[in-house]
């Protein structure tokens, strides 16, 4: 239990570091007159994915040093994304009708589904190679370049040096993220060994939910400010960023062994739930309250099955 509470402490550090980076990046983006949807799909999705990105980097360094942490890294990625696209989407949808548009549905959401499918295909052999990691990250960078060309960036006050404070805060936030990620990964490995369970279970059920807190916070803040495009863009963008950039960087460093339970249960469930939610948006370009409840129930059914299976596994 001590290690469990230390993980929670580390997750708070991840949340605090991400919050510093997100707020500073958002101020810079708004000053440059970038649209809310693009802020969500790019800057905020990368910012809120920093806990997953740093967890991947630290896990990959551990792997290079002889400590197997693939289950923590991949499990965290999948668990975080599942929580975001179902539970976080559902919570936001309970309070407001989430509206979408053809661009997000036909471009970004389809890319999200493609990212999940590509990750599953790369995992089929039970191992994601460094080359496959480079391919995932490379596709994401091309996506960012494409989005940047669609935006007309314009500094409203080009002669002011107002970004210095924000860049310092971003650097401080990244430093806190790296420290916290290293702390969480180390304690998670110890926890999985003490409990006698697979690292992927710890990654999906504990760390995955914890690292999704920045997306939950950002979505709720967007809701409070009436910025629906910001909330939806962040959730969809993060589900693109995590499997492609975060996991791609980690795999490019060390390669990952993929747990068979992740391959044949968690990743397919993630794809299926994402496809169902796409149907909600595709039908009416919005997510109503009853559909939001279904999103929450989907995650609870997944979580309940994992906990039940975990208890069976522990005997």
Binning pLDDT at 50, 70 and 90, where does residue 315 land? very low
Range of the domain at 48: 2-314
pLDDT, tens digit (0-9, with 9 covering 90-100), for 246-278: 999 999 999 999 988 889 999 999 999 999 999
CATH number at residue 222: 1.20.1420.30
**pLDDT at residue 159 tops 50:** no
Report the distance separating Cα 38 and Cα 41, nearest Å: 5
- CA dist 199 → 140, 154, 245, 251, 302 (Å): 27, 46, 21, 17, 18
**pLDDT at residue 127 tops 90:** yes
Report the distance separating Cα 29 and Cα 155, nearest Å: 9
CB atoms within 10 A of CB 283: 9
Instruction: Specify the number of domains making up the chain.
Output: 1
The segment with the largest mean pLDDT, out of 83-87, 194-198, 210-214, 294-298, is: 294-298
* Of 92 and 128, more confident: 128
pLDDT above 70 as % of the chain: 70
Whole-model pTM: value is 0.78
pLDDT at 32: 67
> Scanning the structure block, which residue is given the tokens 């791609």?
248
**pLDDT at residue 217 tops 60:** yes
pLDDT at 185: 62
pLDDT at 136: 97
**pLDDT at residue 158 tops 60:** no
pLDDT, tens digit (0-9, with 9 covering 90-100), for 100-119: 888 888 899 999 999 999 99
């Amino acid at each position: 239990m001590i290690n469990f509470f230390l993980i929670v402490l580390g997750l708070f550090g991840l949340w605090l570091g991400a919050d510093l980076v997100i707020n500073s990046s958002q101020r810079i983006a708004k000053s440059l007159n970038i649209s809310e949807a693009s802020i969500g799909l790019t800057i905020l999705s990368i910012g809120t994915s920093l806990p997953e990105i740093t967890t991947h980097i630290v896990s990959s360094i551990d792997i290079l040093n002889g400590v197997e942490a693939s289950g923590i890294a991949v499990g965290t990625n999948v668990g975080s994304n599942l929580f975001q696209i179902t539970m976080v989407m559902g919570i936001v949808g309970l309070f407001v009708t989430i509206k979408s548009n053809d661009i997000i549905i036909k471009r970004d959401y389809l890319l999200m589904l493609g990212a999940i499918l590509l990750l599953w295909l790369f995992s089929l052999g039970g191992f994601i190679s460094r080359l496959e990691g480079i391919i995932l990250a490379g596709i994401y960078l091309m996506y960012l370049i494409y989005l940047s060309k669609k935006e007309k960036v314009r500094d409203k006050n080009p002669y002011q040096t107002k970004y210095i404070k924000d860049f310092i805060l971003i650097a401080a936030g990244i430093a806190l993220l790296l420290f916290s990620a290293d702390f969480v990964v180390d304690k998670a490995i110890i926890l999985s060994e003490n409990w006698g369970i697979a690292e992927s279970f710890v990654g999906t059920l504990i760390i995955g939910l914890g690292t999704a807190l920045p997306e939950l916070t950002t979505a709720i803040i967007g809701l409070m400010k009436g910025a629906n495009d910001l909330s939806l863009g962040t959730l969809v963008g993060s589900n693109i960023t995590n499997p492609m950039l975060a996991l791609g960087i980690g795999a490019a460093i060390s390669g990952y062994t993929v747990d068979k339970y992740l391959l044949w249960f968690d990743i397919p469930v993630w794809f299926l739930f994402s496809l169902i939610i796409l149907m909600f948006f595709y039908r009416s370009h919005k997510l109503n309250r009853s559909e939001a409840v279904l999103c929450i129930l989907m995650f609870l059914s997944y979580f309940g099955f994992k906990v039940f299976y975990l208890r069976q596994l522990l005997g």
